[in-house]
Amino acid sequence: MPQHPEARSTLPPVRIRSIVAAPLFGESPKGGWSAEIRPEDSIHALIAVHTDAGITGYGSVFTDGRLVQAGLQVLEPLFRGENALQPERVTEKLHQNTFWMGRGGTLTHTISGIDIALWDILGKATGLSVGTLLGGRYIDKVRPYCSLLMEMPERMHDVVAPYKARGFKAFKIGWGPFGRTNDPGLDRAIIAATREALGKDVQLFVDPGASDAHWPQGLKWALRTAEMLADYQVGWFEEALKPDAIDDFCTLRRASPVPIAGGEVLTRRQAFQPWLARGAFDIVQPDVTKVGGISEQRRIVWMAQDFGVRYVGHGWNTALGVAADLQMATAFPNVDLVEFIGGSPYVDGILREPFALDADGLLDIPDRPGLGVELDPEGVARYTPDARPLFAA
């Protein structure tokens, strides 16, 4: 039987002409880190993949943008001329040929942004959203949780109130003085004040930030604190232990009355496998701008679901990171939350159409080609020395 003419049609290759990065400076939100972020520091970068077909894809990387620029120089011989319509093959090529240069570090983070941009290109070339390309859309809307720093108890109402007024119905508070003063009474007072300010019907999650430099607490503190958090209907306890303490995480998860979340500092699927297999997490939180991009994150998500572990992406990055997280949220069953930094110009100030909550505190998941968002060149230019290479045809 002769083939239908449409069955023989294929998209011609779209070749990568160049990849550029723009470090973001000046308005990074406070991290709560021991070595706090300064205006001259870069911890995020935007990536643009330019092609010979005139299609440009965009991605985001969670690391110093100057490292990303150096990483692109190393990777350039591997990606130049590749077909941008094959994101998984191209990025796996980049991973496989750079193991010996520092797998899991700067190059892996850089590849993450490239991969996100390649999926954006594939969507733009086919007219499909990334979520559809990943296999289909389970949901059209998702709840963002507003991610904010902890302050002293008397300040917590002022911290959360403006965002509650904007319509957020889920919050994560983290870092700050919590767990850093050896004062369990202060820890409890911070949570109590926050719960009072939010009311009973708002979801609350807690992240002390044990990946901070020289985190002072251990397993016994985490066990006691988990019991306290249960008194305030906290939905999960995130990064409660140093990020390599897998045995302690396993013990904490078995004993804790609240779900245990983590994994944001891990990169590539191989690093996640022992944590999932050993039952260290109730909720796993890979960051699409660090782990290797969308191609890698979806492998981690499916692996997590096979182990019965819930997926909520870590999203302390940029609007492009949020856009990727939204597409990931729709592509898998039972994903009901995405992270959204409260008050970050890199989230609120770089898109032509900024994200907006609906009356139920939900975000629409774009069903437009690619990531479904468009950068605002003037907005981006406020936060990087030269934004022009991102938008050069």
Q: What pLDDT is recorded for position 223?
A: 98
Q: What pLDDT is recorded for position 100?
A: 87
Q: What pLDDT is recorded for position 4?
A: 54
Residue 5 has pLDDT above 80, yes or no: no
169 φ/ψ sector (left φ>0, alpha ψ -120 to 50, else beta): alpha
Q: What pLDDT is recorded for position 2?
A: 52
Chain mean pLDDT for the chain: 95
Residue 328 has pLDDT above 70, yes or no: yes
- Residue 166 and residue 204: Cα distance in Å, rounded? 16
278 Cβ neighbours under 8 A, 6+ residues apart: 246, 250
- pLDDT category, 117, cuts 50, 70, 90? very high
Distance of CA 327 to the CA centre of its chain: 12
What pTM was computed for the model?
0.96
Task: Express as a percent the part of the chain with pLDDT over 70.
Answer: 97
For the stretch 254-310, pLDDT in tens is 999 999 999 999 999 999 999 999 999 999 999 999 999 999 999 999 999 999 999
Mean pLDDT of 130-159: 97
Q: Dihedral of the CA atoms 231, 235, 240, 245 (nearest 10)?
A: 120
- pLDDT category, 70, cuts 50, 70, 90? very high
Between β-strands 44-51 and 56-61, what pairing exists: parallel, antiparallel or unpaired? Answer: antiparallel
Q: Using CB atoms within 10 A of its CB, is residue 382 exposed (0-12), middle (13-18) or buried (19+)?
A: middle
Task: Express as a percent the part of the chain with pLDDT over 90.
Answer: 90
* Domains (range + CATH), the chain: 5-129+378-391 (3.30.390.10), 132-370 (3.20.20.120)
For the stretch 23-65, pLDDT in tens is 999 888 777 777 777 888 788 999 999 999 999 999 999 999 9
83 beta partners = 15
Q: What pLDDT is recorded for position 47?
A: 98
Q: What pLDDT is recorded for position 112?
A: 98
Residue 6 has pLDDT above 60, yes or no: no
List the structure tokens of 274. Answer: 């022992």
- pLDDT category, 147, cuts 50, 70, 90? very high
3-state secondary structure the chain: CCCCHHHHCCCCCCEEEEEEEEEECCCCCCCCCCCCCCCCCCCEEEEEEEECCCCEEEEEECCCHHHHHHHHHHHHHHHCCCECCCHHHHHHHHHHCCHHHCCCCHHHHHHHHHHHHHHHHHHHHHCCEHHHHCCCCCCCEEEEEEEEECCCHHHHHHHHHHHHHHCCCEEEEECCCCCCCCCHHHHHHHHHHHHHHHCCCCEEEEECCCCCCCCCCCHHHHHHHHHHHHCCCEEEEECCCCCCCHHHHHHHHHHCCCCEEECCCCCCHHHHHHHHHCCCCCEECCCCCCCCCHHHHHHHHHHHHHCCCEECCCCCCCHHHHHHHHHHHHCCCCCCEEEEECCCHHHHCCECCCCCCCCCCCEECCCCCECCCCECHHHHHCCCCCCHHHHCC
For the stretch 87-114, pLDDT in tens is 999 999 999 999 888 888 999 999 999 9
Q: What pLDDT is recorded for position 33?
A: 75
Q: What pLDDT is recorded for position 168?
A: 98
Q: What pLDDT is recorded for position 9?
A: 58
- Residue 130 and residue 133: Cα distance in Å, rounded? 5
Mean pLDDT of 312-340: 97
For the stretch 193-252, pLDDT in tens is 999 999 999 999 999 999 999 999 999 999 999 999 999 999 999 999 999 999 999 999
